[in-house]
């Protein structure tokens, strides 16, 4: 198997997470300036075997797309054009920032570290990836005994 790369796209910063090659564990990878995101993904795809890219789908609680969708769509289209052999999927990212803040708070790290917005973005990407992988496992047909 190969890795799944998850992206929590932000206007200024973007959190990135990646699965292990067996696609069991979601790990935070980094946070990059959104202006350098495409170059980062390109370089990562050249170095690692990536099966697919999952991009957080920004929805409001009422189900409507957030304003950031107008920034994400051109980025996803660029990925699909430049890397046609790597599927790009959206996955609902509602409430991931809230969950990321909660996970960071529960981790026991200091107050200063909890205010690190880059860490929140990276944890959000990890939550998107974890939830996506769990959803895929639920969609898979059961294996016979």
pTM of the predicted structure, to 2 decimals? 0.82
pLDDT in tens, 53-87: 999 998 877 878 888 899 999 999 999 999 999 99
- Residue 32 located in a structural domain: yes
- Residue 144 located in a structural domain: no
Residues spanned by the domain of 62: 3-139
- Residue 145 located in a structural domain: no
- In this prediction, residue 96 has a pLDDT band, given cuts at 50, 70 and 90, of low
Could you tell me if 76 and 55 are in contact, meaning their C-beta atoms sit under 8 angstroms apart? yes
- In this prediction, residue 121 has a pLDDT band, given cuts at 50, 70 and 90, of confident
- Residue 91 located in a structural domain: yes
- In this prediction, residue 99 has a pLDDT band, given cuts at 50, 70 and 90, of low
CATH value at residue 103: 3.30.420.140
Whether pLDDT at 115 is above 60? no
Q: 112 or 73: which carries more pLDDT confidence?
A: 73
pLDDT computed for residue 11 by the predictor: 92
Q: Order of strands, edge to edge, in the sheet holding 26-33?
A: 26-33, 13-19, 3-8, 50-57, 88-92
Instruction: Report the C-alpha gap between 10 and 121 in whole angstroms.
Output: 8
Count of all residues that appear for the chain in the document: 145
Domain count, the chain: 1
**Cα–Cα distance list, 119 to 16, 29, 41, 57 (Å):** 10, 10, 19, 19
* Residues linked to residue 18 through DSSP beta bridges, in sequence order: 5, 27
């Amino acid at each position: 198997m190969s890795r799944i790369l998850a992206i929590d796209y932000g206007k200024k910063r973007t959190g990135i997470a990646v699965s292990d090659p067996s696609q069991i564990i979601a790990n935070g990878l980094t946070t990059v300036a959104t202006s350098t995101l495409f170059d980062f993904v390109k370089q990562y795809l050249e170095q690692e075997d990536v099966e697919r890219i999952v991009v957080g789908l920004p929805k409001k609680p009422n189900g409507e797309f957030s304003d950031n969708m107008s920034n994400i769509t051109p980025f996803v289209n660029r990925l699909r054009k430049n890397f046609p052999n790597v599927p790009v999927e959206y996955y609902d990212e509602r409430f991931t920032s809230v969950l990321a803040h909660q996970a960071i708070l529960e981790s026991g790290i200091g107050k200063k570290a909890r205010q690190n917005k880059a860490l929140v973005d990276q944890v959000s990407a990890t939550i998107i990836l974890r939830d996506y992988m769990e959803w895929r496992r639920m969609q898979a047909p059961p294996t016979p005994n």
